[in-house]
Structure 1
Amino acid sequence: MHIGFDISQTGSGKAGCGYFAHAMIGAMLELAPEHRYSLFPSFGNFYFDAKMPMLNPYFGNNVHYGPRHLTRELSAQFWNGSSVENSLETPSIIHSNNFWCPTQLSTGRLIYTFYDMGFAVDPCWTTETNRVGCFEGVFRSSITADWVVAISEASKKHYLKVFPHFPDERIRVIYPCSRFSDSSAEGKRPKALNGVEPGKFWLNVGTVEPRKNQRRLVEAYARYLSLGGEAMPLVLAGGKGWLMEDFQVHLNELGISAQIVMTGYVSDDELIWLYRNCYANLYPSLFEGFGLPVLEGMQFGAATLSSNTTSIPEVAGDAAILLPPEDIEGWTQAMLGLAVDKLERDRLSAAAVEQALRFDWRQSAAALLKLYEEALASPKRRMV
């Protein structure tokens, strides 16, 4: 096969989408080096990183790079052109991973990774520009993609609900997995936690933004403290996202600023240390396509309290305490209970490690390669 694969989001600033693409191409190169791989440092006009692929190169005898563009405008001009397939030497598979979707492919099978449509659920969760760009790409996929890869059963169900015209037999669930290959790694303490005793802090990982629900989390934490909960600090590990400019004001109003540690962006080594040494990992997200911080925390034995919505129960299984994300009192009581029940915390930690073993990149990459073969053996889907 000649596999064309979008790596546009796999640079040094990658987030969930970028980790999915990065791990998938790495595992495919290991499992099936006999195929020809064309990797696309830029893909479409929605996302653009001028430094790719220098920030994160991939190696192999059959690995080649597609055209590199120095500006978003040049990328848009190329990818919207009528002769793009010929310019790419006609890949048999073209796999989109960054929400943008081409519409003019005549021979290659278009595979589209669908993460989630949280941007369409609540306008308060993102900006108008991001919402329009994401929805345009997902909508175009419903019209032109030959196959869709959904990252959870919940995402698959949501996609088919919004786009009932897409054939359900052409959407396949392939799970992401942890970015961390060494489960025995100890990690490195972030400087922001100097003086904080290991095992004596609550943890929340993720961009501080409305969809991740940190506002309700800190309200539950404030009530936990007011009811006499052990005074372990709450560590928020992630940068500030959109629409959260007043978050520090909210902490001040709750009177808990001194008990909150905001690390900002953390390295992978620092994140491993946080997962391994937290008392529990708290993940009250309102909506997820998958929920990597749940899985990655479990990999390092973090006892977990998480939302019971969307995809998160698929990830957590029976190894976490699942709670409605809007139930502030429920989160408060769960934290109070777990803080005094060390045996339950240890049970959750052991169960978390077992649950994390269910997710493996090699299995996911093998499923994707099988999907490519199935796509090539099937006729191209007619554009709606």
Structure 2
Amino acid sequence: MKKRLLVDLSSLKNIYSGLGQIALSYGNYFKENYKSDSFPYDLTLLVPSKYFGEFGNEVHYISSSNILRKNKLLPFPKYEVWHSIHQLSRFKPMNRDVKYILTIHDLNFLYEKTANSRRKRFKKIQNKVDRANEIVCISHFTKKEVESNLNLKGKECKVIYNRVPLINNDLAVKPGFQIFEPFFFTLGVINPKKNFHVLLDLMKLMPDRHLYITGVQADIKQNSYANLIKRRIEQEKIRNVTLRGPVTHEEKVWMYQNCQAFLFPSLLEGFGLPVIEAMQFGKPVFTSEETSLKEIGGEFAYFWKNFNPIEMKQLIEDNLDKFYQNNTLIEKEKEYAQIFSYEQHFNEYDKLYRAV
């Protein structure tokens, strides 16, 4: 009898978040590649009920939006293997016989939460680590963080880089809002750890270019960080910065295709998926060197040493034209981006699913 595997894709509930996009990539991969007759495990996806059937008929579905199940009042069927694709899920196997694979993206809570909140979050993730049979980190930086801050009790921590879908040949649709060219582009959840506000002073020094910041929570009235950016844009009359909510996938592809450069000043990343997405399009990436970004950007990203706007501008001006004059560099950057492909990522997890 084949083992039964559950993969937790409950983060699809926030489809425009980074974790939502990762869950979507898992679902799409299984839709394209999983065949129950040729795999040694029966696959069930834990998804919001509106995604039932979305990833084909070869897989089974179980609802993550069931109120009773969310509150642990409705037990799960028995599975032999359970994979949590990130550490923040509210779901985990209660039966100790279930082999539990835990993927950890980051320990950002150590840096952005209050002391009381840090203690609570630490306890939750330590409990998951204690329960896990296999621990996977999405970068060597995250692995180092995990090994330094959590008690692994002798368990090995593997590294499997995030899978970044190849999107450079996808359909591109120009956004409906006004586009001023030439322009820079950035995206992400609009919160303080993304550090987007440092780009405002930079853009004051570059009036001949426009910057588009797009992301989840930009339009939420209670988002104090988004409100701070909007207020500064208005009060300081920064005419060449636009903050908007998330664009569609097709619009994102167009923005990558047509931007002059991708800017990413983030302070806390377990991986840094947009950096690799931008590189697929042969675009220069200017990023912070914080957390995992130095590792993921590798030799092809340009790293700001600090957030002094004059120095940030200088790095861009010193390298922007040189980048586009070097076709060999552009092609090597594109090749580098393809390292983080479907095949390598899911082959590693398939080995793990088969082995546990």
CA distance in 1, matches of 2:16, 2:124: 19
One-letter amino acid of the counterpart of residue 58, structure 1: F
CA distance in 1, matches of 2:120, 2:177: 35
One-letter amino acid of the counterpart of residue 108, structure 2: G
CA distance in 1, matches of 2:319, 2:209: 12
Deviation (angstroms), 1:133: 7.1
Structure 2: tracts of 5 or more residues without a match? none
CA distance in 2, matches of 1:123, 1:235: 28
Work out whether 1:53 is the aligned partner of 2:30: no
CA distance in 2, matches of 1:13, 1:134: 23
Deviation (angstroms), 1:265: 1.2
CA distance in 2, matches of 1:347, 1:260: 32
CA distance in 1, matches of 2:326, 2:208: 17
Pairs within 5 Å for 1:89-128? 90-98=78-86, 99-100=88-89, 102=92, 104-123=94-113
What TM-score, normalized to structure 1? 0.80
One-letter amino acid of the counterpart of residue 236, structure 1: I
Aligned to 1:190: 175
Deviation sequence 1:171-230 (CA, Å, 0-9, x none): 211111223x44323511112234x23xx10111112221011111212222x23xxxx6
Deviation sequence 1:101-145 (CA, Å, 0-9, x none): 536322110111211121221238xx987x677545422212211
Work out whether 1:264 is the aligned partner of 2:249: no
Aligned to 1:277: 258
Aligned to 2:130: 143
CA distance in 2, matches of 1:135, 1:158: 13
Aligned to 1:368: 349
Pairs within 5 Å for 1:321-360? 321-338=302-319, 341=322, 343=324, 349-360=330-341
Aligned to 1:176: 162
Deviation sequence 1:338-370 (CA, Å, 0-9, x none): 455464576654343122111111211110111
CA distance in 1, matches of 2:189, 2:65: 29
Deviation sequence 1:23-49 (CA, Å, 0-9, x none): 2344356156422012222xxxxxxx5
Indicate if the aligned counterparts of 2:271 and 2:292 stay in contact, CA closer than 8 A. Answer: yes
Where 1:309 maps in the other structure, the secondary structure is: coil
One-letter amino acid of the counterpart of residue 174, structure 1: I
Indicate if the aligned counterparts of 1:283 and 1:294 stay in contact, CA closer than 8 A. Answer: yes
Where 2:72 maps in the other structure, the secondary structure is: helix
Deviation (angstroms), 1:78: 3.5
Deviation sequence 1:207-262 (CA, Å, 0-9, x none): 2221011111212222x23xxxx611111121336441322122234431x21122
Residue number among 113, 137, 152 corresponding to 2:139 in the alignment: 152
Structure 1: tracts of 5 or more residues without a match? 42-48, 377-384
Aligned to 1:381: none
Where 2:22 maps in the other structure, the secondary structure is: helix
CA distance in 1, matches of 2:50, 2:134: 26
Where 1:191 maps in the other structure, the secondary structure is: coil
Aligned to 1:65: 61
Aligned to 1:235: 212
What TM-score, normalized to structure 2? 0.85
Indicate if the aligned counterparts of 1:2 and 1:92 stay in contact, CA closer than 8 A. Answer: yes
Aligned to 1:379: none
Instruction: Tell me how large the CA RMSD over aligned residues is.
Output: 2.8
CA distance in 1, matches of 2:7, 2:323: 46
Identical aligned residues as a percent: 22
Indicate if the aligned counterparts of 1:28 and 1:366 stay in contact, CA closer than 8 A. Answer: no
Q: 1:271 to 1:150 in 2, by over 3 A?
A: same
Deviation (angstroms), 1:307: 1.5
Aligned residues: 343
Aligned to 1:37: 43
Deviation (angstroms), 1:299: 0.9
Indicate if the aligned counterparts of 1:10 and 1:22 stay in contact, CA closer than 8 A. Answer: yes
One-letter amino acid of the counterpart of residue 312, structure 2: W
Higher relative contact order (CA 8 A, sep 6+): 1
Q: 1:252 to 1:338 in 2, by over 3 A?
A: farther
Greater displacement, 11-20 / 286-295? 11-20
Where 1:121 maps in the other structure, the secondary structure is: helix
Deviation (angstroms), 1:323: 1.9
Residue number among 52, 63, 71 corresponding to 1:76 in the alignment: 71
Work out whether 1:249 is the aligned partner of 2:231: yes
Residue number among 255, 258, 275 corresponding to 1:294 in the alignment: 275
Greater displacement, 258-267 / 345-354? 345-354
CA distance in 1, matches of 2:170, 2:267: 30
Q: 1:158 to 1:272 in 2, by over 3 A?
A: same
